[in-house]
Structure 1
Amino acid sequence: MKRYKVFRREILSIILIAFLAISATCQDKSSNKSGEDIKIDKKEKKKKRKKYKLPNIDLNHWSVTTPELNDKGGAMNIEPPEILNYATDERLIPYMYNDSTSGALVFYSYPSDATTANTKYTRSELREQMVPGDNNTNWTFAQGGVMKGKLAMEQVSRASDGKYHKVIIMQIHGRLTNEQRDLIGQKDNNAPPILKIYWQDGKVRVKTKVLKNISVTDEELLHEDAWDDDNGFNFEQEVGFRTFTLEVRVSEGKMVIVLNNAEYKVYEGVSMRRWGIFENYFKAGNYFQSRDEGSFAKVKYYELEVTH
């Protein structure tokens, strides 16, 4: 009997040791499995972070005009710092939003009643503000400036003739100082745009202003009717719906447009020299050039930078 009890204790000890060993092994496996799961989760999170991209655009020195009407019945305009909250601002979300897959800022426009002065077209377009929230501080050609953009046409409707609708994607707009405005008796500070860059049928087209009479006085220069549109210039490359780069370089009496760091268009001469009388500001985005029912355009900007 005594020998039986000893034998029984030995059997129980062996069973207990075996149970503890199995339990430790299971815990070890469970621990290893948990570690592997954590690693997989981290990899998946890392992949997700890589997929989410943001445009390389600092909006601190830009305001935006949209096809939405404001409380006064004009086109909605949002300035810094409010524009920095565009991703959550319900007034801007339909017209200016992130494409987080490609890392672009999308500008959407269509015909609406929200037009601006001296035009029948609508826009979802940025306006440079050298001093945030202030339109009265601008620059001259003598001071110079450079605007660089990386962009693409995402979508655009077609006219009844089958051709795509035109979109202005970059501008340099002239502006009268308060003194110039008062001198010629104009009610606002608007001056003509010296530069319009179009996306037109898959190509980049440039238009500028030329003097009707190069002998006009400085005061006569300030009137819009002293200027005429030139014949325009088409770059040879077809950009289509692919991503491309545009660079606008301005210096005293000279303006240079560069497409994809390969093609150049240089403007200089008496009209460029005499344009120096105006102040200017850059514009970029989607200034849609159609009133056709159901028409629209979406322009994507991946990068946009201005220096002076």
Structure 2
Amino acid sequence: MPKNQKGAGRAGGLSTFVLMAVIPLVSLPAFAQTKLAIPEANISASASDSNLPVHANDGSLSTRWSADATTGTQWLQYNLGGCYRIAFANLAWYNGDSRKYNLELKTSDNGTTWSTVFSGTNSGTTAALKPYTFGDRPAKYVRLESTGSNVNRWVSLSEMEIWTQGTGTCSGLDRNRTPGENFDLSDYQLQTLNSSLQVKFVDPINTYTDKYFYTDPSTGAMTFYVPSGAGSTANSKYPRSELRADTTWHMGGTHTLAVSMKVLQQPATGQIIIGQIHGEQTGGSELLKLRWTNGDILMGVKKNFGDSEQRILIKSGVALGENIDYVIKLVGPTVTVTVNGTSKSFTYDSASWSDVDLYFKLGAYSQDASSNGTYAKVAVTALD
């Protein structure tokens, strides 16, 4: 499950927000859709003189927010009141046609942990609004930080607008941490790939990361990346970047795996296994495989140990990048798989499976053994 994140106070008390279309003052990126209206109560700053923080969001370039940065970095912060996919921020600087301000633009899901989107200066050639691209990054907070300009240590910002692509999904994960720091992976080992695209096992995971298992720098998601045709484990011909639970158990009692994730890319075959109940024994001990097949999600099950797999459709028409919440729950001999609210159940022959040591797996188990240049990519935002 995700490790506890530090809480953060809201920057204000209002929670009603309006998205309104406006005519931009400068030429803006083609993907811009709407400007987010920020209530005054949701605008805060480290300090100010008589030029208040709300003046940076009043629609006028003749007013400004100002703060003395002589003693350190000053910041202006917007609480967006929800999670939005930010296309860009429009900034206009006081005397920006003759001053270059040092600035950093940052985003956060919780108001405590920040990721830098831009670090540098304004152009120093215009006082008009100019866009700083965020690349559709999801966030609940946006912060501008500055230590002043090449003229003095005062920070003076005329306007800051936030333009969005609509609502997004914020995980509360730290984009600067490894997967093992964002999630409790103490009961998992990692099956990944080495530099020669051959199988590599990592246990314990701790702070381990590589190009096939990493934290997405935009969302903080635990990401699994698998090139088609890479090396496979002993009893398979398919490549994987996958977590395997260390704890094993027998059929009986209740065993649950809950995951929130997205399939970001599918291989040429269109097939990925995104979750499993697997067995230690060879010869067909895969109790359940949760399969992605060109946007359809199916459960593959075997009534008896060693049987051929039966496939049951759970959900169809799921798009790449669409959120998938799934729960695999085995109670006695009956497994129930729920995907985005739709459930299917199957009952096994318990006598056939009674001596099999079982465990959970999740990640990206690509079903493409050809070296065709395609890949599977899966992003996990919650694990329990």
TM-score by length of 2: 0.53
Task: Return the offset for 1:117.
Answer: 1.8
- Opposite residue 353 of structure 2, the aligned amino acid is W
Aligned residues: 228
Task: Give the alignment of 1:206-285 within 5 angstroms.
Answer: 206-211=299-304, 224=306, 227-230=307-310, 232-241=311-320, 242-260=322-340, 262-269=341-348, 271-272=349-350, 274-285=352-363
Query: Match of 2:186, SS?
Result: helix
- Opposite residue 140 of structure 1, the aligned amino acid is H
The superposition leaves residues 247-269 of structure 1 with CA deviations (integer Å, 9 ceiling, x where unpaired) of: 00012111110011x21111115
**Partners of 2:229 and 2:368 within 8 A in 1:** no
**Partners of 1:171 and 1:195 within 8 A in 2:** yes
CA RMSD for the aligned pairs?
Answer: 3.0
* Higher helix residue share: 1
- Opposite residue 172 of structure 1, the aligned amino acid is I
Task: Give the alignment of 1:1-308 within 5 angstroms.
Answer: 33-34=68-69, 38-40=73-75, 47-50=106-109, 52=115, 53-54=173-174, 57-68=183-194, 75-80=199-204, 83-87=205-209, 93-112=210-229, 114-130=231-247, 138-159=248-269, 165-176=270-281, 192-211=285-304, 224=306, 227-230=307-310, 232-241=311-320, 242-260=322-340, 262-269=341-348, 271-272=349-350, 274-292=352-370, 293-305=372-384
Task: Return the offset for 1:190.
Answer: 6.6
Change (3 A) 1:272 1:265: farther
Task: Return the offset for 1:74.
Answer: 6.0
Give the number of the structure with larger relative contact order, counting CA–CA contacts within 8 Å between residues 6 or more apart.
1
Task: Return the offset for 1:192.
Answer: 1.5
- Opposite residue 366 of structure 2, the aligned amino acid is F
Task: Return the offset for 1:36.
Answer: 9.8
> Identity, % of aligned pairs?
25
User: In 2, distance between residues paired with 1:32 and 1:254?
Assistant: 64
The superposition leaves residues 83-111 of structure 1 with CA deviations (integer Å, 9 ceiling, x where unpaired) of: 11223xxxxx1100101321211101123
Query: Match of 1:277, SS?
Result: coil
Following TM superposition, the consecutive aligned residue runs of length 4 or more in structure 1 with deviations greater than 6 angstroms are: 41-46
**Partners of 2:258 and 2:327 within 8 A in 1:** yes
* Paired position in structure 2 for 1:21: none
**Partners of 2:275 and 2:363 within 8 A in 1:** yes
Task: Return the offset for 1:67.
Answer: 3.1
- Opposite residue 268 of structure 1, the aligned amino acid is T
**Partners of 2:315 and 2:339 within 8 A in 1:** no
TM-score by length of 1: 0.65
**Partners of 2:285 and 2:356 within 8 A in 1:** no
User: In 2, distance between residues paired with 1:107 and 1:259?
Assistant: 20
- Opposite residue 169 of structure 1, the aligned amino acid is I
User: In 2, distance between residues paired with 1:75 and 1:32?
Assistant: 55
The superposition leaves residues 218-250 of structure 1 with CA deviations (integer Å, 9 ceiling, x where unpaired) of: xxx6xx3xx2222x1112343212011000001
Change (3 A) 1:229 1:194: same
* Higher strand residue share: 2
* Paired position in structure 2 for 1:25: none
- Opposite residue 215 of structure 2, the aligned amino acid is N
**Partners of 1:95 and 1:124 within 8 A in 2:** yes
**Alignment gaps of 5+ in structure 1:** 1-27, 88-92, 131-137, 160-164, 177-188, 212-220
- Opposite residue 297 of structure 2, the aligned amino acid is V
**Alignment gaps of 5+ in structure 2:** 1-48, 51-65, 79-102, 116-172
